[in-house]
Amino acid sequence: MKIADELLGKDVVDESGDQIGLVDDVEWDFENNTVKSIILKEAGISAKIGLGDHKIVSYEMIESIGDNVLIKGTPLKKE
């Protein structure tokens, strides 16, 4: 999907400008043809050594999408 392809690998930052991860996957709602949520892969040293967590960000938490994905609040950890 074109939208998912454009989001994958984008930096995700919170309202304070801190990088919280990279878009690793997109959950799609096929019935409504919309993005349900994005899955983040933690960035930084912990990710490089294989200790990074994955987090889920619901579509409602996304403030804007441009060069980066700006979110409101804190993403949830993936179970």
Question: For residues 40 and 20, is the Cβ–Cβ distance under 8 A?
Answer: yes
- Distance, in Å, from the CA atom of 12 to the CA atom of 14, rounded to the nearest integer, reads 7
Domain spanning 2-72: CATH superfamily:
PRC-barrel domain (2.30.30.240)
Whether the per-residue pLDDT at 79 is higher than 90: the answer is no
Q: What is the pLDDT of residues 32-71, one digit of tens each?
A: 888 899 999 887 665 566 666 788 899 899 999 999 999 9
- Distance, in Å, from the CA atom of 60 to the CA atom of 70, rounded to the nearest integer, reads 12
